[in-house]
Amino acid sequence: MGREQRCRAVFLDRDNTLIANDGDLGDPDAVRLIDGVAPVLARLAKAQWRLVVVSNQGGVARGKFTEADVEAVNGRLADLLDEQSGIRGLIDRFYWCPFHPEGTVERYCHEHPWRKPRSGMLVQAGRDLGVDLDRSWIVGDQPRDVAAGRAAGCATILVSIDPAAIEAAQPTDVVTTLAEAAEIILCRR
Ligand SMILES: [Mg+2]
Into how many domains does the chain fold? Answer: 1
**Ligand 1 centre and the CA of 56: distance in Å?**
8
What's the 140 CA to ligand 1 centre distance in angstroms? 6
* pLDDT at residue 4 is higher than 60: no
Instruction: Please give the span between the terminal C-alpha atoms of the chain, in angstroms, as a whole number.
Output: 21
pLDDT value at 181 more than 80: yes
- Which one of the listed residues 13, 69, 92, 141 is annotated catalytic? 13
Query: Cα separation of 54 and 144, whole Å?
Result: 11
Q: What is the mean pLDDT of residues 4-10?
A: 86
Residue 51 carries which side chain, given as an amino acid letter? L
In this structure, what DSSP letter does residue 33 have? B
Report the interhelical angle of 37-46 vs 178-187 (nearest 10°).
Answer: 10
pLDDT, one tens digit per residue, over 81-97 is 999 999 999 999 999 99
79 a catalytic residue? no
Is the confidence at residue 115, as pLDDT, over 90?
A: yes
pLDDT at residue number 32: 97
Question: Residue 22: what pLDDT?
Answer: 81
Q: What distance in Å separates the CA atoms of residue 172 and residue 43, rounded to the nearest whole number?
A: 21
Using one digit for the tens of pLDDT, what is the confidence trace for 8-67?
Answer: 999 999 999 999 998 789 999 999 999 999 999 999 999 999 999 999 999 999 999 999
**Ligand 1 centroid to 136 CA: how many Å?**
19
pLDDT at 2: 52
Q: pLDDT exceeding 90 applies to what percent of the chain? A: 94
How many angstroms does the Cα of residue 186 sit away from the middle of ligand 1? 22
What is d(CA 97, CA 92) in angstroms, rounded to the nearest whole number? Answer: 17
- Of 5, 48, 10, the residue nearest 135 (C-alpha): 10
* Residues by chain with Cβ below 5 Å of ion ligand 1: 13, 15-16, 141
> Smallest Cα–Cα separation from 137: which of 112, 111, 159, 115?
159
Does the pLDDT of residue 1 top 60, yes or no? Answer: no
| Average pLDDT of the residues of the chain | 96
- Residue 5 CA to ligand 1 center (angstroms) comes to 31
Where residue 189 falls among pLDDT bands split at 50, 70, 90? low
What's 179's domain CATH number?
3.40.50.1000
Whether the predicted pLDDT of 187 surpasses 90:
yes
127 exposed, middle or buried (CB, 10 Å; 0-12, 13-18, 19+)? exposed
Using the predicted structure, report yes or no on whether residue 3 has a pLDDT greater than 60.
no
> How far away, in angstroms, is 115 Cα from ligand 1 center?
13
pLDDT tens, residue by residue, 116-134: 999 999 999 999 999 999 9
Active-site residue flag, 13 = yes
Angle, in degrees to the nearest 10, between helices 37-46 and 67-85:
80
Q: How far is the CA of 1 from the centre of ligand 1 (A)?
A: 33
Average pLDDT over residues 136-163: 98
Range of the structural domain that residue 180 is part of: 3-187
